[in-house]
Amino acid sequence: MGMITREDLERLHAYEVKPDSPVLSLYLTVDRSQMRNARHQMETILKQLLRSIEGELEEREKEAFREDAGRVEAFLSEYEPQAPSLVIFCDASEDFFWARALSIPLRNLARWDTLVYLRPLLEALDEYERFGVVLTDKTRSRLFTVFLGEIREEREAFAPARVRHIKTTGTDHIWSQKRIQRQSETHALWHLKQVAGELDRLTNRYAFDRLILAGPVEATSELYRLLPKRLRSRVAGTLSLPVEATPQEVLAEALKVEQAVERSAEITLVEELLTAAAKQDRATQGVVPTLQALQEGRIWQLVYAHDLALRGAVCTHCTALLPQGEEACPYCGQQLEVVEDLVERMVARVLEQGGRVEEVHGIAAQNLQKAGGIGAFLRF
Ligand SMILES: [Zn+2]
């Protein structure tokens, strides 16, 4: 199935759904550690998602829904997952079927609606930066692009390495050794200068958000020194790797850098959130004020710690989400029902309202936990 391309998205975006023929949009993700069992896991998730949609349909809609669902189930029964996520859009009656595997985690979700539900996909793509990895030593250079957890070697990026052969001839052996050494050092510097010069062009050509410098330490530190300032600011990290490293080896190391970049962005996000909330500047912290803002439809971005588990309640009449401990719905006075997965429900509702969600990890999550584990930036 391969990577998602811009053309893919444009085609999906342009797809016109018939008003009386809804499309089934599905996002399925399994844990990376469970890849061996991935298809079975995906089938289980699919079953649950389909059941919850079907439960809310009117009788006359069910036949069309089952047709779409059946097509997806048939596809999945023959599918061999190579990546943890799978996105499917299907309208069987219009013979419309689109599926792609993704290496990034997505939220499990299903919609049966008169639109191709692209939002989670677009957001995921938006969130992931494109990394360029330049792997270089004193004589050779290779370029890789890393996007959405996948790597590609850009073989045409650098002209074939121009290796200068220096013959060891001459009678004065020591003199000649020194001369060779000097020549080869000059050559290495010349080579790295070429690379540094090329990187400007390559950064534009391959549209990198970030750069990773990889190779033996002497080469990467020299290359960093030679980079123009505007490129230095894009360097996300350096990796100590041999120039012959395989793309998979480069990817494994590059993903660690990418994660470190994300973690530090999350720390900044939580800092901004807590500062804004303290100033009451269109932000909340803690579950009660955040639920209130959600009820008022004001959440622009929900931020929560990944290990946050909260119980709460939902109003059986107006569906308001509430913290634990309320007797009756404060909005309509009706009965409440306990919910075990309050965070999941808040997330779903924010997405329904057109807001964004950000799950934070590590230190950012710890900092947020001290402030109730959840908060939000508000629209107004
Ligand atoms: Zn209510």
pLDDT of residue 175: 60
For residue range 275-315, list pLDDT tens digits in order.
999 999 999 999 999 999 999 999 999 999 988 989 999 99
CA of 335 to the centre of ligand 1 (A): 7
Q: How confident is the model at residue 164 (pLDDT cuts 50, 70, 90)?
A: very low
In the numeric block, which tokens belong to residue 62?
A: 């069910």
For residue range 238-285, list pLDDT tens digits in order.
999 999 999 999 999 999 998 899 899 999 999 999 999 999 999 999
Dist. CA 247–CA 260, nearest whole Å: 20
Q: How confident is the model at residue 1 (pLDDT cuts 50, 70, 90)?
A: low
DSSP for residue 341: -
CA of 319 to the centre of ligand 1 (A): 6
Give the burial string for 42-63 (b: 16+ CB within 10 Å, else e). beebbeebbeebeeeeeeeeee
CA of 320 to the centre of ligand 1 (A): 5
> Can you point out the beta strands (E) in the chain?
23-29, 85-91, 96-102, 109-113, 131-136, 141-147, 150-153, 210-215, 235-240, 283-285, 299-305, 312-315, 321-323, 336-339, 356-360, 374-378
Q: Which residue shows structure tokens 């107004």? A: 380
In the numeric block, which tokens belong to residue 305?
A: 């710690």
Task: Answer whether residue 379 shows pLDDT above 90.
Answer: yes
For residue range 167-195, list pLDDT tens digits in order.
445 555 666 666 766 677 788 888 899 89
CA of 296 to the centre of ligand 1 (A): 13
CA of 339 to the centre of ligand 1 (A): 14
CA of 298 to the centre of ligand 1 (A): 18
CA of 310 to the centre of ligand 1 (A): 20
Mean pLDDT of all residues in 205-226: 93
For residue range 6-36, list pLDDT tens digits in order.
677 778 888 888 888 899 999 999 987 788 8
Q: Is 10 exposed, middle or buried (0-12, 13-18, 19+ CB in 10 A)?
A: exposed
CA of 305 to the centre of ligand 1 (A): 27
In the numeric block, which tokens belong to residue 228?
A: 């123009």
CA of 351 to the centre of ligand 1 (A): 20
DSSP 212-245: EEEESHHHHHHHHHHS-HHHHTTEEEEEE--TT-
Domains, the chain:
6-127 (3.30.960.10), 131-245 (3.30.420.60), 265-378 (3.30.1330.30)
CA of 338 to the centre of ligand 1 (A): 13
Mean pLDDT of all residues in 86-113: 91
pLDDT of residue 161: 46
CA of 332 to the centre of ligand 1 (A): 4
pLDDT of residue 64: 94
CA of 291 to the centre of ligand 1 (A): 13
CA of 324 to the centre of ligand 1 (A): 14
Mean pLDDT of all residues in 142-153: 89
Model confidence, pTM: 0.66
Q: What is the 3-state secondary structure (H, E, C) of 121-157?
A: HHHHHHHCCCEEEEEECCCCEEEEEEECCEEEECCCC
